[in-house]
Structure 1
Amino acid sequence: MKKEKKHTPKPKDFTATPFQSLKGFQADTPAAPVPAPKPFLLPETGDDSDLFLRAVANVRPLQEEPERPRPQKAAVPPKARFEAADRKVFLDAIEELKLDVNFRDELPDGIVPLKPLPVNRMRQLRRGALRIDYELDLHGMTRDEALESLARFITGAFNRGQKAVLVITGKGNNSPDEPVLQGAVASWLRDRGKLMVTEFAPAPRQMGGSGAFVVFLREKEGNQGLGAGG
């Protein structure tokens, strides 16, 4: 008689399903990531403006810096306006001065028309080659006294054959009469003394400068009989 073999049941694989009995409940599945927004693209065209818009579509403006104030240039007024204003001021000033605009051939007293002296003569005078032995000082004289003395002085120097003499009138810094003497002397030398005087000019600085005249005399021949009247 055969013995019956006992079959030992094979253990089942363990599977833990604690929530299998909970029907109707399901664990939430993780949400799918949100895709990043795609950049907005314009349809490609051959237009330059479309290409520019497409290029700057995703550009974000930077933070704007405050605009620096530009230095303002001073406004330049119209030149014509200033010229007109200056012209009016000038004309008004002329009207107030009431100037005599009549031109005359004769120069008023006190204006000496200086004739350029020969360079060699002035050079000789400065170097001492041309000597001035006679001079007349008119300081302190009245106009009439000065002209009378001047006439005698020039006539005497001319008769002696002098080439140059010095006439001192003063600059008029300390006496109001001295400018009057300068004009009177210049007029006499230019008019009444023209037959004896070739030319005259302010003296060099070492001889008195503008306060004196160097008078160059003509040759005596042919000029006899000139009086000394003023």
Structure 2
Amino acid sequence: MPEPAHSAQPLSATDTRPPCLASIEAVTAGDRVTVVCRGELDVGAERLQPELYDLLETSSMGVDLDLAGVGFCDCAGLNVLLDLRQEALDQGKTVTIASCGPALRRLLDLTGARELFRAEGAERRPEAPDTVPAAPEQGVDVDEELRLEVAQLRRAMRTRPSIDVARGIVMASFGLSSEDAWTVLVTASQNTNTKLHHLAEGLMGAVHGEPVAKEVRQQMAWAVAKVRETPSTPFA
């Protein structure tokens, strides 16, 4: 079942940021979270960032964005999406755009960002007959930016096998479910300020007798104890 829609709170006396004109709903299915967004993504969309990051954190593979209900998006709104994608890459996950309206599609095409949110292996859809590729702005090396972004995405996807193996190790070692094992890995990663794929590689090395840092062992033990105290909640 969809989770309740998130919307911005009224401005407080000390908060002078523009209001958010969009709302989000989330549905968890397996390893990914689908986020449905409606409204307008402009400078006020930064208010959605904490909730988007929280939803990304609860997924093991990443977030799929349904933006068909977004009627307007400017560069500030796009930056929120790009920041979410970068955070996902840092966690070894992906962010895809499952659907979007013409306004956002046009912005993605103009900025060359459309490919960055395409699911791996997804087929390229034919462009509309009246779509004309936009020329890049003077002084902006769009090709170099895209190459860098694609390289980061490929690197993130290469880390998935080690993370999945580490999750299996935690499941087998402590008798945990897949979801609880994922929570343990993420918690230990955050509490030790260690990239998730680095932590995973360390656990894989431990299977072959390599030592695991004391701080990592302590945080893993603490995280295992916490998930055992908290009953698992089935996904909606």
More strand by share: 2
- TM-score bucket of the superposed structures, by smaller chain: under 0.3
Q: What TM-score comes out, normalization by structure 2 length?
A: 0.26
Structure of higher CA gyration radius: 1
Q: What TM-score comes out, normalization by structure 1 length?
A: 0.26
Relative contact order higher in (CA < 8 Å, ≥ 6 apart): 1
More helix by share: 2
